[in-house]
Structure formats: C-alpha cells, structure tokens
Amino acid sequence: MLELITTPVDRENPALAALFDQEELARELDLFTHAHWKSDSPQGFRARVLRWHTGNRCTLEIALMNGAMSPDLIGKIYAVERPDIYEYLGELERAGFDRTSKFSTPQALAYVPSLRLLLQEKVQGLAVREVFLGTDPHLQVEAARRSALWLARFQDVGPKRGPVTSPQAQFAQLERWVGRLAPLGGLLAEKSKELFRRLQAELPKLGGTEGLAGHGSYSPDHVLLTNSQTVTIDWDGYDVADPARDVARFVVATERLALGHLHSICALNWLADVAPGARPSPLDLRAQLVGRCIPRNLRRGEGHRDIAATSLLQGCDVFEAGQVLRDEGSGSPVGKESCGDAR
C-alpha cells in the first residue's frame, strides 16, 4: 500500500499522475525493503512529494508506515531514463565521496528501470540555505567555508563524466534568453542586452580553462551539513564544465537568497572573504556571473519585474583575490546600492 501526499495543486495535475503508477511503485518499494532490509511481510509506505518539475522529474520522500526502524528514502522519478545518475553517484562514492567521508554525497541504493526511479538515502542534515538565513555569524562562516572546501575537493578529484558544457554552448543559450527578455521591454531588457554585450566582448578571451567535474546547480539549497560531514545532493545536472560555473551559481544563488529574504543583495557578501577553496580566474568567473544573471532574472522577471531589474543591476559580482567586488552591472548609477559591511 502506498499513501501519496501531495499539495492540492499537484493533486490536480494530470501530468504527475501520468508520470508513475502508484501500485507499481508500492510493489517495487516492497521488493526493495525485502532485499535490503530483510523485511518478510508486505510494507505500507508514505510518499510525500517534495518537488515536482513538470515534464522532467518528481522528488519524493519515502517512509515506512508501520513505524519500523528503517531509514527514510529519497526517490526521484524521471520523465526519461536516467540510470546514468545512479552510475555517477557510484563513481563519486568510489572517488572518495562516500557516506563516511568528510566530503560526501547521498548513497545511491537502487535504480528501477520500469519506473525510471532512483532510490537514495535521505541525508539528515542542515541545509546551508537555512544557516545563511540564520543569525549566527560563526555558523554562517563555517557553512561558507565548508561549502567552498567541498567544491574545491570535488573539482580536484571528481569524475569528469557527462555532457561537456562549453562557453560557446552557454553563450548560445544566453543569446536565446536575451531574446526572450526583449518583449518585456524597459530597464530589465535594456540591462540584459548591455550585460550580454559585455559577455560577448569577453568570450574571445575565454576557453583556455580545463573543464572539470561539474555539479550543474551548486547552491546553498543543495549543500547539507552534519556534525562531521558536508554532503551535496541533487545530481541531475552533473557535467564537465569550466570550474568558474559552479562557483558563479553558488554566488548568484546566495545573492538572490539575500535579496529575497534579507532585503539586500549584499547582505551575505561578507562571507566570500572567509570562504577558501576553488579560485577560478576573475575573468572566467566574471563571464559566468554575468551569464547567470540573464536567465535567472528572466524566470523572475516574468512575474517579478521590479525585483528582477534590481537583481540584474546589482547582482553581477566579480570574485577576485578571495573577495566579491562590486561590478554594478555596466556601472550605471541607477539602482546602485552600497555593498560595504552588510553584517
């Protein structure tokens, strides 16, 4: 038996119901518990939808309903076959990112082809996002330091597998994003074009950096802290990319977190001063940061144009000599904010 817990919106979404068969999921989970936890009797399960990416994947938190002392699971059901993620998590474990290591990833437990289901352990940890939004500066410094060290270790020894994300491919994608922004008009579209022109001018200077193992969406949401471990989750977009890309994603995600919850895009910038780890060249990171501003703000701009324009004007930082220096978009004084000591 499977009890599926969803939000009212998800419950009425026919695409979610079409993604997987609940009875088949219950059968496969029962087989899994029998094989891995030596359970002899049929089990009941409770599956709660954590996130539903329409047309792509659904993330579930899965628990036994009988109160047995078995660990909860995270299940990901994909719209297309993704056994490669299971295989990549295994490679990460063999590379030293196992469940007992200081720098870790979730243990991949099984992949069920008939459901396109990846089962992995649920990591019991505190998200760096929650630490950054807290009020303890010592914990915030420690979270920033551990996030940077995890990424540096991953870029040093992580397996280089998956699609290669080149600067040219990113540039072509950004060009499409800029085209989608144009109909919005006003300051948002104007500044996006201006930032894109800057990126276009920098592109010939890029391309000499060796591609390294990439996470694809490295951010405070995807890094969990336990007493002794730093664990990075959500490996759906792993690839090989310029190491500045994952750094840029983390920086921009942190700034957007600060803007949305702390009312200043600069509120967490001081953490960059204390975070060791990967140090891509300022030029490479600058290009990645400018590039990240355009698509992220398009998604926000469709419904939140004022916030998007503010973020676009102020959110393109340059990581240089271990510090985040303000670049202020194109240098325009419009919407300019001082980013001194924001603590």
Work out the pLDDT band at 318, boundaries 50, 70, 90.
very low
Radius of gyration for the alpha carbons in the chain, expressed in angstroms and rounded: 21
Domain positions in the chain: 2-121, 126-325
- Cβ-defined contacts of 6-15 (< 8 Å, 24+): 6/48, 6/49, 7/49, 10/49, 10/52, 13/52, 13/54, 15/54, 15/55
pLDDT tens-digit series, residues 223-280: 999 999 999 999 999 999 988 888 888 888 898 899 889 988 889 888 876 665 554 5
Does residue 151 come out as left (phi exceeding 0), alpha (psi in the -120 to 50 range) or beta?
alpha
Task: Kindly state the average pLDDT of the residues 142-157.
Answer: 92
pLDDT tens-digit series, residues 156-210: 999 999 999 887 787 888 888 888 878 878 887 888 788 788 878 877 776 667 8
Secondary structure letter of residue 106 according to DSSP: P
Burial of residue 338 (number of CB atoms within 10 Å: 0-12, 13-18, 19+): exposed
* Residue found by looking up tokens 């800029």 in the block: 178
Question: Which residues does 326 contact at the CB level (< 8 Å), separation at least 6?
Answer: 314, 317, 339
Any idea which of 14-18, 21-25, 111-115 has the lowest mean pLDDT?
14-18
Range with top average pLDDT, 87-96, 252-261, 328-337: 87-96
User: Which H helix or E strand runs over 189?
Assistant: helix 186-202
Task: Kindly state the average pLDDT of the residues 22-51.
Answer: 83
pLDDT at 12 (0 to 100):
67
Secondary structure letter of residue 210 according to DSSP: P
Q: Which among 162, 202, 208, 189 is positioned nearest to 291, based on CA atoms?
A: 202
> Does position 291 have pLDDT exceeding 60, yes or no?
no
Parallel/antiparallel/unpaired status of strands 73-78 and 108-112? unpaired
pLDDT at 306 (0 to 100):
33
What average pLDDT does the chain have?
Answer: 78
> Does position 95 have pLDDT exceeding 70, yes or no?
yes
> Does position 123 have pLDDT exceeding 70, yes or no?
yes
Q: Is 211 helix (H, G, I), strand (E, B) or coil?
A: coil
Task: Kindly state the average pLDDT of the residues 304-317.
Answer: 33
pTM: 0.80
pLDDT at 280 (0 to 100):
52
Cβ atoms of 269 and 342 within 8 Å: the answer is yes
Task: Kindly state the average pLDDT of the residues 113-125.
Answer: 94
* Residue found by looking up tokens 């730093």 in the block: 230
Q: Which CATH architecture fits 126-325?
A: Alpha-Beta Complex (3.90)
Bridge partner residues of 212 (DSSP): 241
Range with top average pLDDT, 238-247, 301-310, 326-335: 238-247
pLDDT > 90 fraction of the chain, expressed in percent and rounded:
38
Half-sphere exposure in the Cβ direction for 278 (13 Å, CA):
25
pLDDT at 237 (0 to 100):
95
